[in-house]
């Protein structure tokens, strides 16, 4: 496909649809220099965005955590997303909503005088990890750690939190892996670069407590599905040495959906029945 800045189509921006190539911002936009930006990744299946309202609510909450007030309500954000999809003729697509500090009277760390702008784009996107849904993703172990909530609002889906994700994913690709697993600032197992992580042992599921990571919407959905099946889910701090004892592993996220993991560094996992079953259940739910 063409580069993301050179395509035909429409992007919703600041209240109206604009031609794809015209959806530009000034070089002195505050977000470009100081990461004053929050975003959401969502998937549209059969013309319906899965849990779109929840994503729009979180977008506004993320902005508030970064001392930004998005000038659009949840209802207006939802309308913008569907307007973009209809304009592009998509029923199955990835949706990216982003809110950011634009250019204005401030061009330093402070940005009170700059407007909060918003855009909604989208594209048609297949499996995030390619053939990993059948073969299992391979994860490196990142050298970086997820930060303490005392250093940055870790509950926000904020652009600045993803720089170490980019660096860690590049390092993983250089080693032949598809992604990387982070530990948090205390050394506990945390998450992948853009997905939450789950482990299976003795028919029960274990997943990191989201006290220093994003409590993903897909994560919450999958926990609910597991509990409906009568499967016990432990949300807790997981130590790195425990990786050796887990039997199965999978990732969850809007882009990742439910993706089995076959390797994390020196540790291997089977692509087992529980993982495949919850992946199938999630697939049926989002397309219902």
Residues designated catalytic? 157
Query: Cα–Cα distances in Å, from 18 out to 23, 65, 84, 102, 189?
Result: 6, 29, 10, 17, 43
Identify which of 127, 99, 81 has the alpha carbon closest to the alpha carbon of residue 31. 99
Q: Which helix (H) or strand (E) holds 166?
A: helix 163-174
Token readout for 23 is: 């959806």
- The residues with which 93 forms a beta bridge, in sequence order, are 44
Query: Cα–Cα distances in Å, from 125 out to 23, 170, 253?
Result: 20, 20, 14
**Counts of helices then strands in the chain (DSSP H, E):** 7, 15
- Give one DSSP letter per residue of 195-263, joined into a string: SEEEEEETTEEEEE-SSSS---HHHHHHHHHHHHTT--EEEE---GGGGGG-SEEEEEETTTEEEEEEE
End-to-end alpha-carbon separation of the chain, Å?
Answer: 29
Q: Assign residue 33 a region: left if phi > 0, alpha if psi is -120 to 50, beta otherwise?
A: alpha
Helix (H, G, I), strand (E, B) or coil at 88: helix
């Amino acid at each position: 496909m063409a580069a993301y800045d050179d395509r035909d189509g429409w992007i919703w921006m600041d209240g109206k649809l604009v031609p794809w190539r015209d959806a530009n911002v000034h070089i002195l936009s505050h977000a470009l220099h100081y990461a004053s930006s929050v975003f959401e990744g969502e998937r549209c299946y059969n013309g319906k965005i899965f849990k779109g309202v929840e994503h729009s609510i979180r977008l506004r909450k993320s902005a508030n955590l970064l001392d930004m007030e998005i000038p659009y309500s949840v209802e207006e954000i939802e309308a913008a997303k569907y307007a973009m999809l209809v304009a592009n003729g998509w029923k199955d697509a990835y949706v990216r909503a982003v809110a950011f500090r634009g250019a204005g009277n401030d061009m330093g760390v402070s940005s009170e005088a700059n407007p909060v702008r918003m855009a909604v784009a989208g594209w048609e996107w297949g499996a995030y990890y390619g053939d990993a849904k059948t073969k299992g993703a391979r994860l490196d172990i990142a050298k970086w750690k997820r930060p303490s909530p005392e250093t940055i609002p870790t509950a926000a889906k904020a652009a600045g939190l993803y720089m170490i994700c980019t660096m860690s994913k590049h390092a993983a690709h250089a080693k032949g892996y598809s992604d990387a697993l982070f530990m948090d600032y205390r050394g506990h197992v945390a998450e992948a670069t853009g997905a939450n992580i789950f482990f299976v042992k003795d028919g029960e599921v274990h997943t990191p407590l989201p006290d220093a990571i994003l409590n993903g919407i897909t994560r919450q959905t999958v926990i609910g599905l597991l509990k409906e099946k009568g499967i016990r889910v432990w949300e807790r701090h997981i130590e790195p040495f425990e990786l050796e004892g887990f039997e199965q592993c999978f990732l969850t996220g809007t882009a990742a959906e439910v993706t089995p993991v076959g390797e994390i560094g020196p540790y291997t996992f089977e692509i087992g029945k529980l993982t495949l079953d919850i992946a199938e259940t999630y697939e049926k739910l989002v397309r219902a």
